[in-house]
């Protein structure tokens, strides 16, 4: 696959190969004409990376948040050692309750948005054109993952190729199988082969956040009582 983008300084168009993992985000759904954000150092177009949007990954808050978490965890551990284990319950329960209380309405909004998008999805025929097997290794062992590659054509005659992870020997995504693809009319990268699975996933996400909220509240109350 190649990416074409103009040089902002000269206006020259560069057409360069895209390598998943080495050129920014990994694109799992592609079609000719898909628009993306391209970032590169001045004068070095070959050293480009791509993002879904120009605002992605520009805030750089991951490491500050991680360091703040480590400092807070150390403070809670030190306080619990000095003043007793109820402070662990408070130190964990209170922030967990606050974070989950803020996250729960967002989860409901996301679920409603996904449901609306699913209701508006259009169904088109597709086909599994490949099943890929990838071997992974790290310092502790190795494992194998599988991915299916499907193609489908939208009602606007855009040919889309998509890759997604599957279970080994899943008959629903066997090589050559004809499938029905439900995709968003505005965003072909948002698609599903099983609408019921999407609904189950949304229910699990909301239930998980609600459970964390209850656990945080219970830990906070228990810690306060035991002080």
**Domain check: are 179 and 69 in the same one?**
no
**Domain check: are 107 and 13 in the same one?**
no
Query: Does the residue 130 lie in any domain?
Result: yes
Instruction: Provide mean pLDDT across the span 190-196.
Output: 83
**Domain check: are 128 and 176 in the same one?**
yes
**Domain check: are 24 and 133 in the same one?**
no
**Domain check: are 112 and 130 in the same one?**
no
User: How does pLDDT run across 129-175, given as a tens digit for each residue?
Assistant: 999 988 878 777 788 889 999 999 999 999 999 999 888 888 888 89
In the chain, how many domains are there? 3
Report the share of the chain in percent with pLDDT over 90.
38
Instruction: Provide mean pLDDT across the span 105-114.
Output: 90
Average pLDDT, whole number, for the chain?
87
Query: Does the residue 30 lie in any domain?
Result: yes
Query: Does the residue 190 lie in any domain?
Result: no
**Domain check: are 113 and 73 in the same one?**
yes
Instruction: Provide mean pLDDT across the span 172-198.
Output: 87
Instruction: Provide mean pLDDT across the span 176-195.
Output: 89
> Residue 100 — very low, low, confident or very high, per pLDDT cuts 50/70/90?
very high
Compare 59 and 7 and report the one with higher pLDDT: 7
Query: Does the residue 132 lie in any domain?
Result: yes
The CB-based long-range contact list for 140-148 (8 Å cut-off, 24+ gap) reads 144/168, 146/170, 148/173
Nearest to 123 by CA among 57, 39, 209, 185: 185
Q: What is the reported pLDDT for 3? A: 87
Q: What is the reported pLDDT for 58? A: 53
Q: Measured in Å, how far apart are the chain's first and last C-alpha atoms?
A: 62
In terms of residue numbers, what domain contains 67? 62-118+202-226
pLDDT at 56 over 60: no
**Domain check: are 66 and 29 in the same one?**
no
Query: Does the residue 196 lie in any domain?
Result: no
Query: Does the residue 57 lie in any domain?
Result: no
**Domain check: are 127 and 114 in the same one?**
no
User: How does pLDDT run across 199-221, given as a tens digit for each residue?
Assistant: 888 889 999 999 999 999 999 99
**Domain check: are 179 and 126 in the same one?**
yes
Query: Does the residue 37 lie in any domain?
Result: yes
Is residue 223 within 8 A of residue 93, CB to CB? The reply is yes
Q: Cβ of 27: how many Cβ atoms within 10 Å?
A: 19
Q: Residue 136's beta-bridge partner residues? A: 143
**Domain check: are 70 and 105 in the same one?**
yes
Is residue 183 within 8 A of residue 154, CB to CB? The reply is yes
**Domain check: are 132 and 154 in the same one?**
yes
- 108 contact partners, CB below 8 Å, separation of at least 6: 206
Report the share of the chain in percent with pLDDT over 70.
94
Query: Does the residue 189 lie in any domain?
Result: no
């Amino acid at each position: 696959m190649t990416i074409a983008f103009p040089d902002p300084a000269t206006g020259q168009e560069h057409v360069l190969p895209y390598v998943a993992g080495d050129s920014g985000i990994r694109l799992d759904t592609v079609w000719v004409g898909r628009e993306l954000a391209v970032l590169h150092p001045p004068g070095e177009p070959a050293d480009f990376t791509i993002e879904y949007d120009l605002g992605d990954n520009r805030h750089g808050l991951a490491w500050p948040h991680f360091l703040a978490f480590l400092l807070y965890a150390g403070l809670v551990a030190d306080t619990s050692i000095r003043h007793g284990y109820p402070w662990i319950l408070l130190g964990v329960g209170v922030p967990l309750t606050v974070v989950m209380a803020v996250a729960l309405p967002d989860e409901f909004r996301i679920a409603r948005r996904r449901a609306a998008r699913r209701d508006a999805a259009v169904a088109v025929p597709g086909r599994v054109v490949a099943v890929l097997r990838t071997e992974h290794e790290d310092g502790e062992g190795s494992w194998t993952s599988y991915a299916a590659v499907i193609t489908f054509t939208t009602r606007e005659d855009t040919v889309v190729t998509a890759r997604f992870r599957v279970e080994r020997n899943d008959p629903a995504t066997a090589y050559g199988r004809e499938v029905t693809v439900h995709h968003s009319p505005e965003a072909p990268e948002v698609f599903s082969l099983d609408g019921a699975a999407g609904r189950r996933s949304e229910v699990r996400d909301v239930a998980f956040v609600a459970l964390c909220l209850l656990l945080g509240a219970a830990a906070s109350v228990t810690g306060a009582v035991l002080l």
